Chain A
Amino acid sequence: MRRLLASARRSRRKSESIDVPGTVEVPSPGRPPRSGRLGNQGRDAFFFLSPWLLGLSVLTMVPMGASLYLSFTDYDLLSSPEWVGFENFIRMFTSDPRYLTSVRVTFIYVALTVPLKLMIALAVALILRRTGRGSGVYRALFYLPSLLGGSVAIAMLWRQIFGINGVVNRFTGVFGFDPVSWISDPDVSLLVLVALAVWQFGTPMVVFIAGLSQIPLDLYEAARVDGANRWRQFWHVTLPMLSPVILFNLIFQIIISFQSFTSAAIISGGRGGPADTTLLYTLYLYQRGFTTFDMGYASAMAWILLIIIAFFTALAFKFTSRFVYYEGE
């Protein structure tokens, strides 16, 4: 340990003597750095990354490898896994209607959640972008649901709010609407989950605010001089300048929306009910793994989910590359 620290100190002393990093010529990609100086830095980097690398390899890569193996087996936790080849994957698409239901439910959920959440996050960010008296308080207040929303307690609360005797029905009752059992009516139950997810728009909002504050004010000034109204300013200045941030938020939200689990699990009591209308992919995966102890099948499902998410992420990159504007270009 002392030797490592000593080497770290040594290399730091060296690095003090070099120029500001921004002016260093970037080595062409793909070729390993030649000089001993960079090699040392690399070693240091690995040293300081090691806790994370350790975590990645032990806590992520090993279970992933195990899951990949299990996805080709029949494994019920109690007996040892039995190799079945691609049977799990074939079963999913040919003889498991609940699997296809869960895929459909998840797609609807993602297709509703992601755009709604991003639009609301952007709208609120536009309002809160100006710094002034109390803006910090408002930002914190709007961010709060994102801190709480993923928790079990909020999902329980949501269950009460949207229950037949819940606040929502009391409120709509004032206007003469009949009470709706939001969480047990198959037509609307998924919307409750969507609403819960959209309510947690704080994280993309904060990212949007940061992105908005990076847009140079002289661009707006120039637009105003050219006679652009508010809407045209938004459309021709804000959106293009913000596009990399939108792309980031879009991809991030696609990933976490596909992985949503807690709210559906708690609100439906772990069943994905009523009548499988809130059976999100991860919830069905969980049921397969831990209710019917079909670990091989659940592992196979996890890998298909990975492929689905990778596909949509790639799609987002591909489609948006045309619309995203990077200042450096």
Chain B
Amino acid sequence: MEVFRRWRAVLALCLALVLVACGQGTSEDEPATTGTEASSDGEVESGSIRISWQGPQERHNVTNAALDIFKSKHPDIELEIEFSGEDSYWERLATETAGGNMPDVHSQHVSYMSDYAARGALYDMNQLGDVLDLSSIDDRLKDAGTFDGELLGIPYGITAHSLFYDVEMIEQTGVEIPDFGYTWDEFEQLLTELVDKLPDGMYGSQDFSGHDSPLMQWARGKGKLLYTSDGELGITADDFREWLEMWQRFRDQGLVPPAEVTAASNFSVEEAPISQGLAPIEYRAANQLQAAATQLGKELGLMAFPTSNGEPPMYAIATGYWSIAADTDNPQAAGVLVDFLLNDPEGAAELRLDRGIPPSSAALESLDLEPAEQTMVDYVNRVIAEGTDLEKSRPAGSGEIEDILRRAAEGYALGSLTLDQAVDQFMAEASEALAG
């Protein structure tokens, strides 16, 4: 019975602890919910701010290293750091925003930017003139983050879509890598030649029929846009049918891996064809070159996307944006942090080109580039020089297109959808997603 009595005491203690914990929880939440409008322009550059970004491990490493420098330079600003992988980031950001708890400084992406901008979730950084120096940032970049006259995000890097190739493997075959402006027919010939000369069991290229960026490049190569300026789908059912048929032809000829192999891999560097020794060519954004080359321990080159009309279809894109939450308690401190991330040479030395070419020309000049980084900078600069403007933003709902496309392309490739079904499914779902 004595044992019994003691248990009651223990239980009571547990309960007391639970209650105490609850009490603390609410008292901590209090300032977060009431302090949202406390901010004013005259505030000092101190206090606590939260920063959050998404990306692969390498990006976390360099960003954390840069933020360590920030901490030592700004001891008055208390920094709370959050980072996560690509997929979970957007879930978390949306949930945090819904809960009135958006990170003060956070990364945005061209696919989601307009969603957040339209809902007034982002802070107009034009108000931060005294702490945020934008003098060395190109006007076109500022323009890319401006919505209705408000500067809601500043591109943290410039990149372009590209095809990665395994330099050693290509050299062994003796095949020439084509220059900008080559056509899809020439691409098909190139793959045929590669398959001939590569060892048995290897293919010419990755099958990227299920990814939205290549589809965008393909549409541009035909003089069309995947998304019109009104935010609608810019390709027709016939266009999409042609896209699927082209890839089916590639698969039939053994130029790209069979559908089952493609469906089994996710899009990570380690599961993609170059790493698996399946094919020497895969599609990726150019800024990932250095990280991928390091990870694979291979020399990688960049080649342009094919076109149909002779015009290179690539265009520069913002890898992402730094944005500030509209309801931040401390816009001044957030501005100081964004300024550091964009302009500080010591910070830039850590961040390097992981997020693409830095927007500040001064920051880029302060870097001593490694070969892979130089390849990337040359490629992106060439893309910029060849003409097209920076892609400004994608319409609301475009974040869903990749999944819709992949299901249609994969379903057709695996034979669980007929061509007609795949085309109808894509057109219907994509139009619905873009209509909101």
Partners in one complex: yes
Please give the residue numbers on chain A whose beta carbons come within 8 Å of chain B beta carbons, in ascending order: 1, 4-5, 8-9, 12, 16, 48, 50-51, 54, 77-79, 163-164, 181, 183-186, 269-271, 273-277, 287, 290-293
Pairwise interchain contact B14-A1, C-beta atoms closer than 8 A: no
Pairwise interchain contact B1-A269, C-beta atoms closer than 8 A: no
Closest Cβ of chain B: how far from A9's Cβ, in Å? 7
- Complexed CA–CA distance, A291 and B93 (Å): 12
Pick the contact of B416: A12, A54, A277, A290 (CB < 8 A).
Answer: A277
Closest Cβ of chain B: how far from A12's Cβ, in Å? 7
Pairwise interchain contact B95-A77, C-beta atoms closer than 8 A: yes
Closest Cβ of chain A: how far from B295's Cβ, in Å? 18
Is B308 among interface residues, defined by CB-CB distance under 8 A? no
Chain A residues near B266: list those with CB within 8 A. 269
Is B119 among interface residues, defined by CB-CB distance under 8 A? yes
Closest Cβ of chain A: how far from B126's Cβ, in Å? 22
- Complexed CA–CA distance, A269 and B16 (Å): 43
Is B362 among interface residues, defined by CB-CB distance under 8 A? no
A44's nearest neighbour on chain B, judged by CB, is B8
Pick the contact of B12: A4, A79, A277, A290 (CB < 8 A).
Answer: A4
Is B225 among interface residues, defined by CB-CB distance under 8 A? no
Given contacts A186-B416, A271-B406, A275-B416, contact A16 B1 (CB under 8 A): yes
Pairwise interchain contact B411-A276, C-beta atoms closer than 8 A: yes
Chain B residues near A77: list those with CB within 8 A. 94-95, 97-98
Is B370 among interface residues, defined by CB-CB distance under 8 A? no
Chain A residues near B260: list those with CB within 8 A. 164, 181, 184-185, 274
Chain B residues near A290: list those with CB within 8 A. 91, 94-95
Pairwise interchain contact B14-A78, C-beta atoms closer than 8 A: no
Chain A residues near B1: list those with CB within 8 A. 16
How would residues 4 to 38 of chain B score, 1 for a CB under 8 Å from any chain A CB and 0 otherwise? 11001101101110100010000000000000000
Is B198 among interface residues, defined by CB-CB distance under 8 A? no
Closest Cβ of chain A: how far from B39's Cβ, in Å? 21
Is B207 among interface residues, defined by CB-CB distance under 8 A? no
Give the interface centre of B87, B261, B403 by most chain A CB atoms within 10 Å: B403
Counted as pairs of residues, one from A and one from B, with CB atoms less than 8 Å apart, the total is 90
Is B417 among interface residues, defined by CB-CB distance under 8 A? yes
Chain B residues near A273: list those with CB within 8 A. 263, 406-407, 410
- Complexed CA–CA distance, A164 and B258 (Å): 12
A166's nearest neighbour on chain B, judged by CB, is B264
- Complexed CA–CA distance, A285 and B34 (Å): 33
B7's nearest neighbour on chain A, judged by CB, is A48
Pairwise interchain contact A274-B263, C-beta atoms closer than 8 A: yes
Q: Mind listing 10 A-B residue pairs with CB under 8 Å?
A: A78-B97, A163-B264, A164-B261, A183-B264, A184-B264, A185-B260, A274-B260, A275-B263, A275-B407, A277-B416
Closest Cβ of chain A: how far from B180's Cβ, in Å? 33
Pairwise interchain contact B15-A50, C-beta atoms closer than 8 A: yes
| B260-277 interface with A by 8 A CB criterion | 260-264, 266
Pairwise interchain contact B115-A78, C-beta atoms closer than 8 A: yes
Pick the contact of B417: A16, A48, A275 (CB < 8 A).
Answer: A275
- Complexed CA–CA distance, A78 and B94 (Å): 7
Closest Cβ of chain B: how far from A7's Cβ, in Å? 11
Pairwise interchain contact A275-B410, C-beta atoms closer than 8 A: yes
Chain A residues near B403: list those with CB within 8 A. 271, 287, 291
Chain A residues near B407: list those with CB within 8 A. 271, 273, 275-276
Pairwise interchain contact A184-B263, C-beta atoms closer than 8 A: yes
Closest Cβ of chain A: how far from B262's Cβ, in Å? 8
| B94-119 interface with A by 8 A CB criterion | 94-95, 97-98, 115-116, 119
